[in-house]
Amino acid sequence: MRVELITREDLESFKKELFEEIKRHSPYMRKSAQEPKEWLKSYEVRKLLGISAGTLQNLRLNGTLPYTKIGGLMYYRYEDIRKLLEGVDGS
């Protein structure tokens, strides 16, 4: 019987190869890596735009940024955020 030793480096290499293989074959992983989510939560919008919770609330209240409320959470379409940014940039 032949005995082989497996090192930490071997395991790290295997882990990296395994994750790459999963990414290649998973439609969910490909989608998230290539295109943004359709709906974003408030904290994601604040992070994306670099604004405070109060500023986001003002954008909601004055109708600048449409949103959908489900339960206690507000969701924003990525497309609406993109349009808002293009309008600000003058594009």
Block mean pLDDT (10 aa), the chain, length 91: 89 83 60 70 91 95 94 93 74 45
Please state, as a whole number, how many other Cβ atoms lie within 10 Å of the Cβ of residue 41: 13
Tokens 């209240």 label which residue? 61
Element containing residue 49 per DSSP (H, E): helix 42-49
pLDDT at 34: 57
Structure token digits, residue 56 = 């986001």
Instruction: Identify the pLDDT of residue 16.
Output: 83
Q: Report the 10 Å Cβ neighbour count for 4.
A: 5
pLDDT of residue 90: 46
